[in-house]
Structure 1
Amino acid sequence: MVKSVVVTGYKAHELGVFNEKHPGIPYIKKAIEQPLRTLIEEGLEWVIISGQLGVELWAADVVFSLQEEYPHLQLAVLTPFLDQEKNWQEEKQERYQSILAQADYVNAISKRPYEGPWQFRAKNTFLLDHSDALILVYDDENEGTPKYLYEAACQRVESEDYTLIRVTSFDLQMIVDEETYEM
């Protein structure tokens, strides 16, 4: 049974999204919501993100809206290091702080500020070690930062009971088509 799931994927800029009014965001949120609903019905308790701009913060929005229907659902934000938002634009820092304020649990995996790429590798290992599943918005044909967690998750799936749910560009296009057709 999946009690905890990590939700991650592309950073906003990797998708060409530079503000929260981008028309693609509601489709990405819907693509995250669908597998989350299924997992919740099967006993999901925790959604875990690392607080990256993009898919992860949109996933937090989805969790907050699902909490109205499923009050037992909880959000954990486990950042790779302290002050990850330090160099972000003020507007993005405010949005991030708002997510942290609403989360049920917040902590940093490395209790130090950014020192090197090893902290991202450590984050990936920690997230996989402390979850039962991964929902990943990622497409092999459009590599980006999720590639490393995807590769580690694939190894995990082969060696133990771990669930990997991928949301690809094909899945997103199907949601767009369904929404457009319904209108």
Structure 2
Amino acid sequence: MENVKTLYVSGYKSFEIGVFQDNDPKISVIKNILKREITTFLEEGLEWVLVSGNLGTELWAAEAVAELKNDYPELQLGVIYPFKDFGSNWNEKNQASLAKVERLADYVNSVSHQPYQSPAQLKLHTRFLLEHSGGCLLIYDKEYPGKTQYFLKDAEKFSERFPYEIRLITMDDLQNSVDE
């Protein structure tokens, strides 16, 4: 498989893994494993990390990328929302988290330039991410279903026709990284 230049990072939303406080120790475990995995991609030629702005894994990934930029200043972060005004109905704390990620990003845009209208916008967003990245890094375990399963299914189908790397970080991987 050719080197991944653009990597989409996603996974569980905070509530799916029981993270409700910014000081939850799970966050540093997740950020550390994300940094380790993204560094591996960087050593193979990674240039961009994309996230969609979802609470949880994607926001922590953006923070991890910001930290990695100290050692890899060429690394770029893109936030690609599915639709205009994404997150505008969130509470103040979550909107502040999203605004922080936008400040960390090198590029911010949305696939649909309309506010949310239908699930078709989410399908277009997934297609855009698959066509504009060479792989994905997902904190996801098939034994613990969550919303990421929908992207993973589409990515698996996509990878049958196009070179597309799918790397999963499972619950065991997270547990093992704590034990190291």
- Normalising by the smaller structure, the TM-score range is over 0.9
CA drift of 1:95 comes to 1.5
1:66-109: CA deviation from partner (whole Å, max 9, x where unpaired): 00000000000000011111111101111111110221000011
Name the residue aligned to 2:117. Answer: 115
> C-alpha offsets along residues 28-60 of structure 1, whole Å, 9 cap, x if unaligned?
111211111011011100000001010000000
Aligned partner of 1:82 in structure 2 is: 84
**2:27 partner amino acid:** I
Quote how far apart the aligned CAs of 1:159 are: 1.8
Match of 2:33 in 1: 31
TM-score normalized by the length of structure 1: 0.94
CA–CA separation in structure 2 for the residues paired with 1:89 and 1:17 = 16
Identity over aligned residues, as a percent?
43
Distance 1:160 1:96 in 2: 32
Provide the rounded CA distance (Å) in 1 between the counterparts of 2:164 and 2:121.
23
Any idea what the Cα deviations from partners look like across 1:109-140, whole Å, max 9, x if unmatched?
11011112222221111101100010011111
* TM-score between both structures, scaled by the size of structure 2: 0.96
Instruction: Identify the residue that residue 170 of structure 1 maps to in structure 2.
Output: 172
Give 4+ residue runs of structure 1 displaced > 3 Å after superposition: none
Any unmatched runs of 5+ in structure 2?
Answer: none
Counterpart code for 1:24: K
Aligned residue type for 1:13: F
Opposite residue 107 of structure 1, the aligned amino acid is N
Aligned residues: 178
Give the CA RMSD over aligned residues: 0.9
Contact 2:13 2:57 in 1 (8 A): yes
Report the secondary structure of 2:46's partner residue.
coil
